[in-house]
Amino acid sequence: MLQWIDTLGRVEALEDVSFDRKLVGQLEARWGRLRGDASTRIHFYTPTFKSFQSSELRDCGKSAWPAVSITGGECKLQCDHCKAKILEPMLPARTPEALWRVVNEVIEQGAQGMLITGGSNHRNEVEYDAYYPVIRRIKDACPAFRIAMHTALVTDDMARSMAQSGVDAAMMDVIGAQDTITQVYHLRRSVDDFEATLESLVRTDMKVVPHIVIGLHYGQLLGEWNALDIVGRHLPDALVLVVVMPFYAPENRPFVTPDSNAVGGFFMDAREALPDTPLLLGCARPPGISKMQIDAYAVLAGLNGIAHPSDGVVELAARLERQVKVTPACCSIAVGEEVMALEDDGGVMVDLERILEHERGQRSRVTTRTLGGIPVVASADDVLTGQPSETWGP
């Protein structure tokens, strides 16, 4: 049987990506000691596998999971990694009446659910109180419309109000280092406040899906293992891991790109710590080679879901004999994959031969043109855009 480092070398799309041989060997040994079958199943949410669409599967549509902000682009915290910029492209709904109008519009456009969020006050609380009656009205009118809420920090009473209004899934970031809370979030709250929030949420009947942002302390791993311990004490429905993408960090507080090998090691720590909890790699992670390394390590560590995987990663999972399920999903589904991943009725099972057939089909799209009788191969950009990068000849 091939060692994992050799299996990585057989995936053509990953042949130019370097991996730490020692780490890969450690991941293989540690994965082999895991109990149960949770780490053998993996679900990919990807916009590139359109060839797998069939009568079993329907396109999610471009507005399947819109994100709605009750504060528009405003947030009091102005955290160093975000500066509230993440809120700006969301649909604004600054009043309960506006939320009702927005939801009716997106349902008409085919939405299956939504993420509702907003900017925090200075205590890292999103002020939802006025919106709960409208959320209840939405759920009563459209029971199948699923609502995921980014809760920020809450009390027991706040968590109960969310559940009673009909929120299906509650999401919050678990931060395990006080320095990160103080310096990155500019927040006068404690690590204990984040644990208390998770405890309050899991007491309700909502699905609870916390996030750990790897590298949140200016690109360094600091409180991630403590955050993992917090999650382990309260056992939510799933855990989403993302890797910080500080595109909006201020020049005087720069972030470094988190080390991919350190991220891969943390994936394995999370898998061992939560052997029966679904672990998902969310869509936020650094681009380029880092993303390819991170995605491959996520597969090796036995994560259960990956949103928007890099080229070759689905093939890698199949070569490792994982049970591979694929949901062809547009970008908007990334907001809802936390909710979807808690159910087993989506996607289709695919095997290695089917994946390789798909990969061959992707490569065959690289067509040729001629320049004075000389074949000219289309660039990768041509394939992605459907347009030639230059015009050849008359």
Say what angle helices 289-300 and 260-273 make with each other, to 10 degrees: 20
Q: How far apart are CA 6 and CA 351, in angstroms?
A: 20
Cβ neighbour number for residue 2 with a 10 Å cutoff: 11
Domain-wise residue ranges, the chain: 4-350
- Give the model's pLDDT for residue 352: 84
- Give the model's pLDDT for residue 331: 45
- Give the model's pLDDT for residue 53: 45
> Which among 20, 21, 36, 18 has a CA at the least distance from the CA of 302?
36
- Give the model's pLDDT for residue 86: 84
pLDDT along the chain (394 residues), means of 10: 94 96 98 85 75 44 78 93 86 97 94 92 97 98 94 98 96 97 95 98 96 96 98 95 85 92 98 94 92 98 92 94 81 55 67 78 52 36 33 28
Percentage above 70 pLDDT, the chain: 82
- Give the model's pLDDT for residue 159: 98
Task: End-to-end CA distance of the chain: give it in Å, rounded.
Answer: 55
- Tokens 């049987």: give the residue: 1
Long-range residue pairs from 87-90, CB within 8 A, at least 24 positions apart, any chain = 87/117, 87/118, 87/119, 90/66, 90/117
- Give the model's pLDDT for residue 329: 62
- Give the model's pLDDT for residue 327: 79
Cα maximum dimension of the chain:
74
Backbone angles phi, psi at 60, to 5 degrees: -75, -20
Q: How far apart are CA 273 and CA 30, in angstroms?
A: 12
Task: Give me the architecture of the 4-350 domain, per CATH.
Answer: Alpha-Beta Barrel (3.20)
Which tokens hold the place of 293? 């390394």
**32: exposed, middle or buried (C-beta count within 10 Å: 0-12, 13-18, 19+)?**
exposed
> 2 Cβ partners below 8 Å, 6+ apart?
10
Backbone angles phi, psi at 207, to 5 degrees: -70, 135
Q: ∠ CA(317), CA(44), CA(29), 5° rounding?
A: 35
- Give the model's pLDDT for residue 45: 83
Q: In Å, how far are 61, 81, 95, 317, 329 from 43, measured between CA atoms?
A: 19, 29, 37, 10, 12
- Give the model's pLDDT for residue 250: 80
